[in-house]
Amino acid sequence: MARIVKNPFGELSGKVGELVFKKGKNGAYISMVPTPTKKKPSVLQERQRLKMTTVMDFLKPLKRLLQEAYVPFASQKSGFHAAKSYYLREVVIPVNDSFTIDYPKALISFGDLRPATGVQLTCLTTGRQPGSAPQEIRLSWTNNSDQAMAYGDDALIIVTHTPERSITNIRYDLAVRAEGEVTLQLGMYATGAVTHVWLGFYRPHEQRAAMSTYAGSVVV
């Protein structure tokens, strides 16, 4: 792959013969079309593919969010690609012949803002008839907006993931940092299954975000 500098034809994107033109964060790039191979992949290659598939299956629903709220320090990578590198390095773990996500290590936002502290996750449907609506949870956190790199109007992001149902939901702007608490409903899809919950803060107009916090998991 090569980077195109001072292209007289303007921005190029697409395929021309054996050449592929791509637009990246730092300019335009050109590469050759991959040559198909019939060679059987090695065991190590198969493991690497499986590892990548596990990460991408988890990250795909979060792609737009990560582009906005994953702001790596001094990196030329986009938010999504920086997050993918982190997941491959720190979050995906081997389980027998496969891989899985280490949920407490997963991040849904990252940046220089102060992370949430004192996070508590409460299931409000405990003791109710199974499957009865609404399926509610409460998230609370300490209002630390009086400290450095924290602002009372930092917008809240919540991500819920129910692996058994392969469902990921993203909630924007349900509250701000200064409020310290929010209640939200999960869909009926979450009934009887483990749902993992993360929260983070961001300032989209400034392209700033905080490292997210894993709040825990619930069964509703």
Q: What is the pLDDT of residue 4?
A: 53
List the pLDDT tens digit at each of the 220 positions of the chain: 555 555 555 565 666 666 777 666 566 667 766 666 677 778 788 899 999 999 999 999 999 999 999 999 877 889 999 999 999 999 999 999 899 999 999 999 999 999 999 999 999 876 555 555 568 999 999 999 999 999 999 999 999 999 999 999 999 999 999 999 999 999 888 889 999 999 999 999 999 999 999 999 999 8
Q: Which domains does the chain have, with CATH numbers?
A: 43-219 (2.60.40.10)
Q: What is the pLDDT of residue 19?
A: 73
Q: What is the pLDDT of residue 189?
A: 87
SS3 category, 113? strand
Query: Beta strands of the chain (E only): which ranges?
Result: 2-4, 14-16, 19-24, 27-32, 92-95, 98-101, 120-123, 135-140, 155-162, 167-176, 181-186, 194-203, 208-209, 213-219
Q: What is the pLDDT of residue 195?
A: 96
Q: What is the pLDDT of residue 16?
A: 67
Q: Which letter, b or e, does each residue of 58-75 get, where b requires 16 or more Cβ atoms within 10 Å of its Cβ? A: bbeebeebbebbbbbeee
Q: 118, 106, 107: which is closest to 209 by C-alpha?
A: 107
